[in-house]
Chain A
């Protein structure tokens, strides 16, 4: 079957760095997405990886290892506004997104 695993909740301190891990099992693979979702709002796109390696975009970076079925989202210089759920989604051979349940990130001052 198809499955996405990510931690349910993480806590970090303002100004620090946090890494949110995601493992996936899909029928075929056509990319890995990370979305941010604030409570009561729609998901917003953060990053997309289709090749192995690290993609950096400002304070946020995303890493992919296709051979390991593994990705992580790295958030640096954490700000209070980064408190949100972070959704990992893998796209399968039919170009459908398989979503994880999300990781709720709590930032403490």
Chain B
């Protein structure tokens, strides 16, 4: 079946701009996670959704970052006033049981 998909696969933007990153989880997976990964590092937790609600947003670095999942399926990660330090691969993962995480291919964000 279809796995987790993320769009766009690559995004180049200028400092100060607004970006939206989209995640389509596996159908039926109620848990959805956003992570950020820098080169040579493990994934860094950002936010976790259970259904439509953000069950844990403690990993969001500051108020420029926001994520929604209005219908309990697709999620959008929104970054305002982007900074060069936001450049990373943004990974989305979904799970049906919070045991096995299926990761999407990631969005590579480059802020110039």
Which residues from chain A sit less than 8 Å from chain B, CB to CB?
Answer: 4, 31, 33, 41-45, 48, 87, 89, 94-97, 99-102
Contacts and interface: CB of A to CB of B under 8 A. Distances in A.
Contacts of A31: 99
A41 B99 CA distance: 21
B42 to A, nearest CB: 3
Interface stretch (B13-21, B43-51, B64-72, B80-88): B43-51
B41 A48 contact: no
B40 A96 contact: no
Contacts of B25: none
Contacts of B41: 101-102
A28 to B, nearest CB: 14
Nearest to B35: A99
Interface residues of B, number: 19
Given A94-B56, A96-B56, A45 B42 contact: no
Between B42, B45, B91, B101, the greatest number of chain A beta carbons within 10 A of the residue's beta carbon is seen for B42
A40 to B, nearest CB: 9
Contacts of A97: 43, 45, 101
Given A42-B91, A94-B56, A99 B42 contact: yes
B100 interface: yes
A3 to B, nearest CB: 12
Contacts of A94: 56
Most B Cβ at <10 Å: residue of A33, A45, A97, A101: A97
